[in-house]
Structure 1
Amino acid sequence: MELLQNLALGFGVAVTPLNLGLCLLGALVGTLVGVLPGIGPLATIAMLLPITFGLPPVGALIMLAGIYYGAMYGGSTTAILVNLPGESASVVTTLDGHQMAKQGRAGPALAIAALGSFFAGCVATVVVAILGKPLTAVALKFGPAEYFSLMVLGLVFAVVLAKDSVPKAIAMILFGLLLSMVGTDIETGQTRMTFDVIELSDGIGFVAVAMGIFGFAEIMRNLWVSQDRDLVQQKITGLMPTKKDLLEATPAVIRGTLLGSLLGILPGGGTILAAFGSYTLEKKLAKDPRRFGRGAIEGVAGPESANNAASQTSFIPLLTLGIPPNAVMALMVGAMTIHGIVPGPQVMTKQPELFWGLIASMWIGNLMLVVINLPLVGLWVRLLRVPYRLLFPMILVFCCIGVYSLNNTPFDVVLTALFALIGYWLLKHNFEPAPMLLGFVLGPLMEENLRRAMLLSRGDATVFFTRPISAVIMVLSIFLLIVALLPMIRKRREEVFVE
């Protein structure tokens, strides 16, 4: 009964004209930029973050969430029509989705991706609503030692689930933690690693790092690597799937939704693992596995449902524990902090309108995506025909204006350009930047909780192993890190990610 009352409160917040408009705008803009191959939700949110700063906190988060699942949806459109994944989780969709498009069945592929994503989003929203309160109650019992240990576990998961080598992932996390320490120490008032640059005394801006590393660097990489667009030429007709399509796709959608809802809660690459796991599961359960890779509709329905469910349930650790489980949620932490919201269990107890309003807006946003995007397929096809040399300079100009407008200082634009070069170098040398962003966002929170824990224990560093919950989390973190570093496990990880 209480859950229904909370959801009613959420819909009351989400269904106001302003928030409905922001949800629609976020879903549309997210899809618009997400359709561009190679950019994806991470770069999309990083580039569009400045446009939310003048909005009220609830509206800003609703719009950012809309941008997130809009970009996820746009990634599947690109994967099906162009054979280029709009983001990592859509890689699997290219295998069967584009084959369906080449067979003249792009309409059913896009429709199943949309309907599967909508169903998965609805189920995942219910999961978030159900798990929100019990997890918040658990989180309220956590002290500084438990929070520090939990953040360590989150960073270890980011290492274990990183696509590239474990040492590179660890290096990126340490680099992120180092960047987070630049600025003035709150306790002592001393400046740290500012090199006498006055503009750095307040620390490195979150937007400059996110937009430079993920937005600008990704565009530079796309311009450097020529991408031959195998765009489907024939007119897309017959959007509604046949009865046979629905019968084949429905079980895959249900299985993908359940798998994605579980994997999305895990720290690390929840959406990517969910999509790959769902595809593997469907292939193993199929009567004729040879159909996969040749236009099997289950190969679109399962992964698309899984990655959408995972993207929604990844809000659970963010909203209840204040711990971002992946790089996109780290961007959301940055946005919440900028709007004066402290992510964690206090959000649900002190700001229930924000918590439940965001959850209700997810359901509305998913419905909007289905209703507005299927009729706009023709528009996305025309957008995909625009040459990159015309598209990307326009995006860069708008992003620079957005960065400059934050503090009205050219230094922020220069800093973003510097991080763009760093990000491009990292991409060229196969360093995965997502763990770095997690380290950058969690750094100040880890430092704060470490200091509090040490003060409460009077300088006794064993406090992290003498408190039961903290000890269990720390032992699990150490175990996972050791396992990930074992040569046999490292070799198997590399084989899995290559597959």
Structure 2
Amino acid sequence: MFDTIIYGFTLAGTWQNLGFAFVGCLLGTLIGVLPGVGPLATVSMLLSMTIYLDPLSSLVMLAGIFYGAQYGGSTTAILCNLPGEASAVVTVLDGHQMARKGRAGAALAVAALGSLFAGICATLVIALFAPILSNFALSFNAPEYFALMLLGLLAAVVFSGAGLVKALAMAALGILLGTVGTDVETGAARFTFGMPELSEGIGIVALSMGLFGLSEIIMNVSSAESREVMNAKLGKLWPSREEARRAAPAAARGTVVGSLLGVLPGGGVVLSTFVAYMLEQKISRRPQEFGKGAVEGLAAPEAANNAAAQTSFIPLLTLGIPTTPTLALMLGAMIMQGIQPGPEVMATRPDLFWGLIASMLIGNVMLVIINLPLIGLWVQLLRVPYRILFPVILTICCIGAYSLEFSMVDLLALSAFAGGGVLLVAFGFPPVPLLLGFILGPLAEENLRRAMAISGGDASVFFTRPISAAIVLMIVALVLVVVMPTFKRNRAVFEEQ
């Protein structure tokens, strides 16, 4: 492990990759600070740029945006009582109360140092398990890949947080959109309607930028602004000895919680903050202080959300299954670069895997260096109204979509998906399963065909191979977990009648 991490540092430590790590961390912090512009929207906007970059450089920058947003969200939560990110909701409870007591500087330092500790520990967890998973990955073939993709799609539906039927409909729509274009096996045009621009399929940039970038802007513009930035002085930047003594073990426990829950599909990052906070409140000798400025109530969730943000890369890098919408876009960036996501990435592209892990260690240190000295700048940015920010973001989106193929079709697709994204949210349909269906659907189709070719059309290949059979059992278990409560409710109603 030590040798491979050193190898990763030689790749991530080049001036080019250090520059992209810095840009990603800076952008991540910025979008975390500004409520309404999340990492999902930002990554979708920058996706068009990644095709011109080296694969490692693009992933280093996108990863920096993702975990950098966890840092930036705490700044808004502490200073404005407004979480810049969903994972910073719990930070508001005690972080803002510390700020009101004149301890804003200490609160920001606790959040930054707790996140640094958690980020480094969680990244080392990834490195520890990587060799084991790498050996395991060599036994994967088309049947295992198809079963994995199916599990990923089902997990996206189950953990979407919306109604099962709506989520299933969105995943199916995403799979259908993914079939548009030229069939790789036969060369036949599918659902192109005679338009040569669709022969290569719908662009992931137009879809993701429209669904999550422009639609997010439209939704935020339509809602009223309410931001109150603290004008009081931040006070001493470093926590007192008593605050440090109480925060350190809380941050350690939050790191453990976040590292474990980060690998869960759906909202593992957000869930970890609530679990860490409740754990601290339960074991604390001063439970009455929680919600009134308890430093443990700030340190634990901040450590948990950053640890979870790091370990959420484990399913993406080892299995090719994204656990969050932002990581789904990073999976799309890998596909655009011609990289086949999945277990073989560790074996075939060790430079990509270990370079990204090393960049996370570097990026976490960068974030502390960026965040603490620039707090005054972030406070000033919080005062910039949305009506000035959003036209700039809109222009960047349009330029990014058009620059890929210099085609008006991409701009029309961008507009269509933006309108569709607004309608989906308005009617309660989750767009995330659609995105995952669009990305994982074609991969699942390709591996299903390969599996059938290998087995001569015998579907039992999915049950006779140990790994694919185990994944199929997991799929069945997940379906039963979802279906059984509904079955029990219907049975109880029937018996009452």
Question: TM-score scaled to structure 2, two decimals?
Answer: 0.94
Please point out which of 300, 303, 323 is paired with 1:302.
300
Please point out which of 365, 368, 371 is paired with 1:370.
368
- Range with greater deviation from structure 2 (438-447 or 467-476): 467-476
Equivalent position of 2:257 in the other structure: 259
| 8 Å Cα contact 2:137/2:343 also seen in 1 | yes
Equivalent position of 1:17 in the other structure: 15
Counterparts of 1:487 and 1:345, CA distance in 2: 34
Report the residue type matching 1:296 in the other structure. A
Displacement of 1:96 after TM fit? Answer: 2.1
Displacement of 1:450 after TM fit? Answer: 1.0
- Range with greater deviation from structure 2 (212-221 or 29-38): 29-38
SS in 1 for 2:160: coil
Displacement of 1:314 after TM fit? Answer: 1.6
Counterparts of 2:103 and 2:432, CA distance in 1: 35
Q: Structure 1 regions of 5+ residues with no counterpart?
A: 492-499
Displacement of 1:10 after TM fit? Answer: 0.9
Please point out which of 342, 345, 350 is paired with 2:343.
345
Displacement of 1:368 after TM fit? Answer: 0.5
Equivalent position of 2:471 in the other structure: 473
Deviations 1:352-389 (A, max 9, x none): 22221111110111000001211101111111101111
Counterparts of 2:260 and 2:370, CA distance in 1: 29
Equivalent position of 2:392 in the other structure: 394
Report the residue type matching 1:272 in the other structure. V
SS in 2 for 1:375: coil
| 8 Å Cα contact 1:128/1:313 also seen in 2 | yes
Counterparts of 2:264 and 2:207, CA distance in 1: 24
| 8 Å Cα contact 1:484/1:490 also seen in 2 | no
Question: What RMSD, in angstroms, separates the aligned Cα atoms of the two structures?
Answer: 1.9
Counterparts of 1:87 and 1:430, CA distance in 2: 21
Equivalent position of 1:199 in the other structure: 197
| 8 Å Cα contact 2:209/2:414 also seen in 1 | yes
Report the residue type matching 1:228 in the other structure. S
SS in 1 for 2:373: helix
Q: 1:102 to 1:194 in 2, by over 3 A?
A: farther
Q: 1:382 to 1:490 in 2, by over 3 A?
A: farther
**Pairwise mapping of residues 243-282 of structure 1 onto structure 2 (< 5 A)?**
243-282=241-280
| 8 Å Cα contact 2:74/2:88 also seen in 1 | yes
Deviations 1:62-106 (A, max 9, x none): 111112112221122222222222222222222222222233222
Q: 1:170 to 1:198 in 2, by over 3 A?
A: same
Equivalent position of 1:315 in the other structure: 313
Matched, 1:235 2:254: no
Equivalent position of 1:407 in the other structure: 405
| 8 Å Cα contact 2:319/2:343 also seen in 1 | yes
| 8 Å Cα contact 1:40/1:75 also seen in 2 | no
Counterparts of 2:166 and 2:284, CA distance in 1: 37
Deviations 1:423-481 (A, max 9, x none): 11112222222222222111111111111112222222233233332222222212222
Q: Structure 2 regions of 5+ residues with no counterpart?
A: 490-497
Counterparts of 1:369 and 1:330, CA distance in 2: 23
Displacement of 1:235 after TM fit? Answer: 2.6
- Range with greater deviation from structure 2 (93-102 or 108-117): 93-102
Equivalent position of 2:481 in the other structure: 483
- Range with greater deviation from structure 2 (230-239 or 435-444): 230-239
Deviations 1:305-327 (A, max 9, x none): 11111111122222222222222
Identity of aligned residues (%): 57
Equivalent position of 1:141 in the other structure: 139
Matched, 1:447 2:455: no
Counterparts of 2:151 and 2:383, CA distance in 1: 44
Displacement of 1:280 after TM fit? Answer: 2.1
Counterparts of 2:107 and 2:213, CA distance in 1: 29
Q: 1:353 to 1:472 in 2, by over 3 A?
A: closer
Counterparts of 1:490 and 1:203, CA distance in 2: 43
| 8 Å Cα contact 2:137/2:344 also seen in 1 | no
Report the residue type matching 1:10 in the other structure. G
Report the residue type matching 1:363 in the other structure. L
Equivalent position of 1:184 in the other structure: 182
Equivalent position of 2:220 in the other structure: 222
Equivalent position of 2:93 in the other structure: 95
Equivalent position of 1:114 in the other structure: 112
| 8 Å Cα contact 1:44/1:71 also seen in 2 | no
| 8 Å Cα contact 1:111/1:374 also seen in 2 | yes
| 8 Å Cα contact 1:38/1:85 also seen in 2 | no
| 8 Å Cα contact 1:166/1:485 also seen in 2 | no
Deviations 1:224-246 (A, max 9, x none): 12131132221323121111211
- Range with greater deviation from structure 2 (266-275 or 358-367): 266-275
Displacement of 1:288 after TM fit? Answer: 3.5
Deviations 1:169-203 (A, max 9, x none): 22222222121111111112222222333212211
| 8 Å Cα contact 1:29/1:70 also seen in 2 | yes
Equivalent position of 2:6 in the other structure: 8
Please point out which of 405, 412, 430 is paired with 2:428.
430
Displacement of 1:487 after TM fit? Answer: 4.1
Deviations 1:334-359 (A, max 9, x none): 11121222223333223222221111
Report the residue type matching 2:471 in the other structure. I
Question: TM-score scaled to structure 1, two decimals?
Answer: 0.93
Equivalent position of 2:494 in the other structure: none
Deviations 1:404-424 (A, max 9, x none): 111111211221111111111
| 8 Å Cα contact 1:326/1:438 also seen in 2 | no
Displacement of 1:489 after TM fit? Answer: 10
